[in-house]
Every structure is written in structure tokens, then in C-alpha cells.
Chain A
């Protein structure tokens, strides 16, 4: 690769001089068109949402510590499960990975910034109003919707005005995701440095190209679903009402046409992060790069064809059940290719286990467990038993928390030196990993047994025989919650530290942000594109 122009602009506030205008203070963040500023805001926003949604999880687990009703009434419990899900999915995990995309894509493809910096700013600044609408819903008459994050009709049609606030929050979040994704796709397709062919892009960039495509395809469908809910509520339509020829199950079809790809919208960028981290700490290039790209692409395509595996108990015809079962199982093939490739990357590698690698390995083990329990749930007769039990809760938390969240942690520890210019505290990072890993399994591993024994989800009370496992789960939850405060401390400590990090702290890292840009990364990444050979 050719030498790089790590072009340092002088951050001169004299307007007459430079063509650059940098407002200071709060206005810097409100008006910014810089992909790094926007990425930082996404990451901090998602962390605030993570703590908010996490607090709600604590309320849920506190209530479930013992059988009987102790802390909240059932309505509040339902509101907590609903908002916990919505906030974690749309407020915490998705924005976190968009934050990564903002920070990394321009640096990894040798671009000066995102393709549409102003629209990029808007994509971020649509999140706070949406979050505000969700939070306001807690305080209106009737409270927040207590319908579960899937917002199923007909319950949604019968809720108070909190439901309307949620619907509009979803609309705004959808706009944000669509604009953000269009920006990402355009950046990747049009702003790559000379020589950076598609098949030379780091896998993280590939995963975001495919994720953005999924988002553009399914967010409008979700918008359509909640719009029908809104008109059923206020304008007399009967989309989800059999008296008017509609069907509540219609909502489920539309929702899951969005909802299943949504799972991959969350998981695929996580695959991307892990595919950067594992080779770096194995000191080997990623095994099977091409097959990784094809595997992600086929997962994305299959994700459109399996949605009714969430609906086996709605009275689908047997033929449909069989189709959805086999199609779902098919996804295990590309997923297996990916897991195989990650393992093969480590095979005979010169491995070290710094915090990013630990989180990636945690991801690898636990996500695979989540994948297997998904395979179990894809089997129709089994699913009919397990539908709406804690087995499902355990399954998707292995995917969402141990999959997406752990890989987000891996990515943050991995790139924190590049972002802040300082090294994080390795010991504390490792403590954070082990606490998270142990407490995570304490919360969710036992929930498999609870589900198999028949404990239903989304109910604030339970039969006494479930008490022991629930207590273990709740204690794990409190521990997990507290461990994340340690993470906050590590990040703040890193930002404030005075120890400069080297340009390339990880021996095996080979993408452009490590090889071509100084640490911390300059405000503008590549003013002149590098040439990639």
C-alpha cells in the first residue's frame, strides 16, 4: 500500500482564514457533520439507552425474584417488558452498531467522511425525539403500552395514548434507520479509495453493506404495520379485526416479515466486528474471507423467507409449518460456515487473549448456544410446547446479549485506543469480561430449564416450583447490571488517561484505520484517498 497522507487540519476557529467552521461547546455536537462526532454520539446515546433499558430489566428481575406480587403491579410489569425490549433493540443495540459504522466505514474504505454528512447528523438527531416519545408514554394516562415489544394486535388497538406515542416513535426510528442505511450503502458503493474493490473490503464493511440493505427493505414494512395499528385505533379501519374481514394474525405476518430480518440487522454487524477482532488476535488473516461474504449474504436473503417460524401456534396450515421449519433450519448452514471460519482462523494461530478477544470468544461460544436453541425452536412440535416460555427468552438473549452486546463490547475495547488515543486498562477490561460472562450465564442459562418446565414469559408471577431458578436468574441480573457500571468506568478512565496508545496496538490488525491513520484518528480521515493495492 502506498504512503498515506494523514492530513491534519489545523482546528482554527478563525472563519476568515479557513473554509472550516467548527462551532464549539454543545453546538459542535448539535450541528456536526463529522462522521466521528456522529459515531461518538451514537455510541453514547446507545449506552444511555442501554442503562435505561437495563434499569427496566432490573425492575422485571426484582419482581420475579420471588413468586407473588411484590414491587410493581402487573400493568407496570407489562410496560417494563415492552419498553425494555423496544429500548434495547431500537435504542441500544442498533444505534451502537450504527456508531461503529460511522466511526469505521470511512476509515476502513479510505473515504473522507460519509457520503451525506448532513443527513448523517439528522439520522442521529432523530433518535432523541423518538426516545423522548417512548419515555413520555410512561407518564400519560394509561401509561406506556403493555403489549410486548412485538406490538401485537388486537391488544395494541385497545391501549391508551401511550400506544400512539410508541407508534410515532417507531416511525421516527424507522426514518432514522432508513436515512442512516442509505448513507452507509452509498458511502460503501461510491466512496471507496482507488483499488479498494468490494472483495478487498474489511468484513465489517461488508456486514454493514448487507445490514443496511436489510434495514432499507424491512423498516418501511414495520412502518406500514404500525400505521395500520394507528388507523385501526383512530380512523375506523379493520385491518386486524375479523368483524371487518381483517385478522390479528395479519399483523403478525407483517411484523415478522420485518422482525426476522431485524434479528440479522442486529447480528450481522456483530459478525463483522468479530471477524475483525479474531484475526487480529490470532495473527492470521480471516479464514475463508470469500465464503464469509457469501454466508452473510445468504443469511440475509434467507432471513426474508422464514418469518412465520414465530407463528407456529397461530393455526398455520401444516404445509406452511413444514416449509418454515425447513427454511429456518437452512439458515444453520451459512451460520455454521461462519462459526467454522472463525474457529479455523484461530487454528494454529498465535493467540493472545486481550479483552476484545475474550469478548469475541464469549460471543463465539454463547452465540453458538443461542443458534442451537434457535434450531431447537425451529422444530414445529417442539416450538408448540415452548412458544412463549422462558426457553424463548433464554434463546434470544443468547443471541442479542451474548451475540450482539458482547461483540459490541469486543469492538469498543478493540477500537477504543484508535478513537481516544489512549489505552484502556487491560486488567479492568478482563474483569469486566469475566463478570459479564459469568453473570450472563447465571441469568439466562437457567431460563432454558424454566422454559422447558413450562414457565410462561411476560407474566409477573409464577408457580412456587420455579423459585430457585428465578432467584439465581435475578441475582445474575443484578450482577450483570452492576458490572456494566464498571465498563462505564473503564471507558471514562481511558478517555481521561494520559498514556498515548500506539498507532497499531494490535499486532495482527490490518485494516486501513490501523495501517494508514495515526492514533488518535485525525478529525478528517482521508482527505486524499489512499491507494490500495
Chain B
């Protein structure tokens, strides 16, 4: 069992942060080269990503060893709780910027382009409606319906929220089988969600003519669902890590912040999806 230390844990000097800085520099610098068609670009990005993965294994591995070694007392645990809450708040604000852009386009810029002098002098005859690409875009597209795959995906994510909570109950009762089963089902649902989302994108590009370049609707649709999908991917990877740790016998009934942090994150991703479903797909 874990024996907890009494004083606040202060880690030794560490080289992982600076490795992470190198990784981000390579990824961003390489990304700039890549976007500007410099041949070395993709390779630099790839090197950066490898460095980042190396850093994550090293850094998180250290944290897991420290946690399992009983170095984190209740106060450290509370620090993790505060920090995860604030981190999720920052993520909320990131999504808020894109939801704000969606609101602005639907309520202000598109109606503005379709009325009054702006319409008559710039694009006469442009009818403001939603979904729309924009007055200067000739190609046609079909918008994404809400009641096909998106509705199924809503069900999948909501169910996964239930299964992760079911796993949490199991952990608190020390029922390892149910914990592992609950997490495994959650991971499977996450992967299923991502697969359907990928299918939906292929469908959008090949059959609906709906691309990132399709003006107001295309940009907000893909950026919002894309960043959400990216967050689901991160959440799924974190769930896989937690599943592996559960199988390895980590966590106790009253010391398992990593599990809770991941489940908070998963619920956050869930709530963002509900907003997406209503504001992007449905209305």
C-alpha cells in the first residue's frame, strides 16, 4: 500500500521540460517550413513529434513512479485537482473563441452581407441563410444532417460518460474487474466515435462537397468538430494509459487522481460535443 509522505513533494531538477521545449520548437519551426513548402519541413515536424513523445514518456513516467512511490500527500493531490480544473477552464475558453466565431458569422456577418447597402454594392442578390458558404463562393455543398451519424455519436459519447463513471464506482469499491471492464468499454466507445467521425469527414469531402474551404459553414464546422475530435483523441489516449495502469494494479480506492483527472477531461469533451451537436449540427 502507499505510504504518504508528510511534507509537500518538491521534485529534483529535471531535464524533461527543456526536452519538451526543444520538441515544440522543432514542431512549430518545422510546421512553418512545411506550410511554406520547404522540403525539410515534414522531417523537422516528425523529429519534433518524436521528441515530444519521448518527453511525455519520460516525464509522465517519472510522475507515475513518484505517485506510486507514495511521494504525493493529500496536499499535492489537492494541487492536482486545482490545476486540472483550471486547465479545463482554459480549454473551455479556447472552444469559446470558435463558438464565438460561429455566433458572429451566423448572427452578424452573414446577415450583414445579405442586407442593405453591403448586399447591393458587393454581392447583389446574396441571400443570407444558414447553412451558407459565402457570397463569393461558387461551389455548392450540402450541410451535415444532425440525425444520422452525429446523433449516434451523441449516444456513444453519453454512454461513454456513463461507463467511465461506472469504472470510477468500481475503483472506489476496489472492484478491479469492473474497473478494467468499464475503462475498456470507454476506450472502445471513444475509438468508435473517432472512427465514425472520420467516416463523416470522408463522406463530407467526397459526397457532400463540404470542405474546409466552404466559407462560413465549412470553416466553423470543421474547425469546431476537428478540434473536438482532436480532444477526443487525446482523451482516448489518456484513457488507454489509465486502463494500462489499472491492469498493472495502480491506484487505490482513495488515491487515484490520475483516473479522476482523465474522467473530468472526458466529461468536458462530452459537454463540448453536446454544444456542438445542438449549435453546429442541429440548429
Of B11-19, B141-149, B201-209, B239-247, which stretch is located at the interface? B11-19
Given the known A-B contacts A186-B83, A244-B215, A244-B216, are A171 and B28 also in contact in the complex, defined by CB atoms under 8 Å?
yes
Say if the beta carbon of A126 comes within 8 Å of chain B: yes
B211 lies within 8 A of chain A by Cβ = yes
Q: Per-position contact with A for B71-92: 1 when CB-CB < 8 Å, else 0? A: 0000100110011001101110
Residue B238 at the A interface, CB < 8 A? no
Closest-by-CB residue of A relative to B213 is A236
Determine the main DSSP class of B at the interface with A: helix
Contact with B32, one of A168, A181, A231 (Cβ below 8 angstroms): A168
Is the beta-carbon distance between B18 and A30 smaller than 8 angstroms? yes
| Chain B residue at minimal CB-CB distance from A32 | B13
Q: Are B32's CB and A239's CB within 8 A?
A: no
> Contacts A216-B89, A253-B100: A33 and B12 contacting too (C-beta < 8 A)?
yes
For A220, give its contact among B79, B94, B132 (CB under 8 Å): B94
Interface string of A1-43 (1 = CB under 8 A from B): 0000000000000000000111100011011110000000000
Hey, which chain A residues are within 8 Å of B282, CB to CB? none
Q: Is the CB of B216 within 8 A of A185?
A: no
- What 1/0 mask marks residues of chain A from 228 to 254 whose CB sits below 8 Å from any chain B CB? 100101111111011111110110011
B123 to chain A, nearest CB (A): 8
Q: Is the CB of B219 within 8 A of A238?
A: yes
CA distance A119 to B10 in the complex (A): 12
Docked pose: A451 CA to B101 CA in angstroms: 34
Are A186 and B122 in contact (CB-based, < 8 A)? no
**Is B137 an interface residue, CB under 8 A from the partner?**
yes
* B82 adjacent to A168 (CB under 8 Å): no
- Chain A residues with Cβ under 8 A from B18's Cβ? 30-31, 121-122, 125
Find out whether the CB atom of B10 lies under 8 angstroms from the CB atom of A33: yes
A243 and B137 contact, CB distance less than 8 A = yes
A128-136, A391-399, A509-517: which one contacts chain B?
A128-136
A169 partner residues in chain B, CB cutoff 8 A: 28
Quick check: A122 and B223 within 8 Å, CB to CB? no
Q: Which of B8, B12, B17, B91 has the most CB of A within 10 A?
A: B17
Q: Would B109 and A245 count as touching, CB distance under 8 A? A: yes
Known A228-B101, A243-B136: A217·B89 in contact at CB below 8 Å: yes
B91 CB contacts on chain A under 8 angstroms: 220
Beta-carbon contact of A121 and B105 below 8 Å = no
The answer on a CB contact under 8 Å between B14 and A250 is no
**Contacts A112-B10, A243-B137 known; A118 to B16 CB distance under 8 Å?**
yes
Q: Which of B28, B87, B212 contacts A182 (CB 8 A)?
A: B87
Q: A236 near B211 (CB under 8 angstroms)?
A: yes
**Chain A residues within 8 Å of B16, by CB:** 118, 122
Binary interface encoding of chain A residues 152-187 relative to chain B, with 1 for a CB under 8 A from any of its CBs, else 0: 000000000100110011011001001001110110
**A242: nearest residue on chain B (CB-CB)?**
B113
Contacts of A136 in B (CB 8 A): 29
CB-CB under 8 A from B29, the residues of chain A are 133, 136, 165, 168
A33 with B90, Cβ < 8 A, contacts A132-B25, A165-B32, A246-B134 known: no
Question: Does B101 contact A178, Cβ atoms closer than 8 Å?
Answer: no
**Does A151 sit within 8 A of B, measured CB to CB?**
no
Question: A168 contacts B31, CB within 8 Å?
Answer: yes
Q: Tell me whether A113 and B135 are in contact in the complex, defined as CB-CB below 8 angstroms, given that A133-B28, A164-B36, A254-B97 are known contacts.
A: no
Using A228-B101, A250-B104 as known contacts, say yes or no to A125 and B216 having CB atoms under 8 A apart: no
Count B interface residues, CB 8 Å.
65
CB contact under 8 A between A172 and B109, given known A21-B12, A224-B98, A243-B134: no
For B21, the chain A residues whose CB sits under 8 A away are 122, 125-126, 128-129
In the complex, how many angstroms separate the beta carbon of B204 from the nearest chain A beta carbon? 14
Q: List residues 24-38 of chain B with CB under 8 A from any CB of chain A.
A: 24-25, 28-29, 31-32, 35-36
Q: Does B162 contact A (CB under 8 A)?
A: no
Whether the Cβ atoms of A121 and B17 lie closer than 8 Å is: yes
Q: Taking the complex as formed, is B93 at the interface, i.e. its CB lies under 8 A from any CB of chain A?
A: yes
Q: Could you tell me which residues of chain B, from 91 to 144, have a CB within 8 Å of some CB in chain A?
A: 91, 93-94, 96-98, 100-101, 104-105, 108-110, 112-113, 122, 132-137
Contact B110 A245, beta carbon cutoff 8 Å: yes
How many Å lie between the Cα of A257 and that of B94 in the bound state? 12
Binary contact readout B191-230 vs A (1 if CB under 8 angstroms, 0 otherwise)? 0000000000000000000011111111100110000000
Q: Is the CB of B212 within 8 A of A191?
A: no
Q: Is A223 an interface residue (CB 8 A)?
A: yes
Asked if A219 is at the interface of the complex by the 8 Å CB criterion, the answer is yes
Asked if B105 contacts A237 (CB within 8 A), the reply is: no
Tell me the complex Cα distance, A115–B211, Å.
Answer: 45
List residues of chain B with CB within 8 A of the CB of A239.
101, 219
Q: Does B83 contact A115, Cβ atoms closer than 8 Å?
A: yes
Using known A-B contacts A31-B14, A115-B83, A245-B109, determine if residue A129 contacts B25 with beta carbons closer than 8 Å: yes
Query: A117 within 8 Å of B by Cβ?
Result: yes
Q: Which residues on A sit within 8 Å (CB–CB) of B174? A: none
Cβ-defined contact, A23 with B13, below 8 A: yes
Query: How distant is the Cα of A458 from the Cα of B151 in the complex, in angstroms?
Result: 51
Tell me the bound Cα distance from A30 to B135 in angstroms.
Answer: 53
Residues A254 and B90 in contact in the complex (CB < 8 Å), given A236-B212, A244-B219, A247-B108 = no
Contacts of B13 in A (CB 8 A): 21-23, 27-28, 31-33
- What's the nearest-Cβ distance from chain B to residue A522, in Å? 14
Minimum CB–CB distance for A47 against chain B, Å: 20
Q: Which residues of A contact B235 (CB under 8 A)?
A: none
What are some 16 contacts across the A-B interface (CB < 8 A)? A27-B13, A116-B79, A121-B17, A133-B29, A164-B32, A165-B29, A165-B32, A182-B90, A185-B83, A224-B101, A228-B97, A244-B213, A245-B105, A245-B110, A245-B135, A250-B104
A-B pairs, 6 with minimum CB distance: A243-B136, A224-B97, A245-B216, A244-B215, A122-B17, A245-B134
- Chain A positions within 8 Å of B, measured between CB atoms, are 20-23, 27-28, 30-33, 111-113, 115-119, 121-122, 125-126, 128-129, 132-133, 136, 161, 164-165, 168-169, 171-172, 175, 178, 181-183, 185-186, 189-191, 216-221, 223-225, 227-228, 231, 233-239, 241-247, 249-250, 253-254, 257, 524, 527-528
Q: Which residues of B contact A (CB under 8 A)?
A: 7-8, 10-18, 20-22, 24-25, 28-29, 31-32, 35-36, 59, 75, 78-79, 82-83, 86-87, 89-91, 93-94, 96-98, 100-101, 104-105, 108-110, 112-113, 122, 132-137, 211-219, 222-223
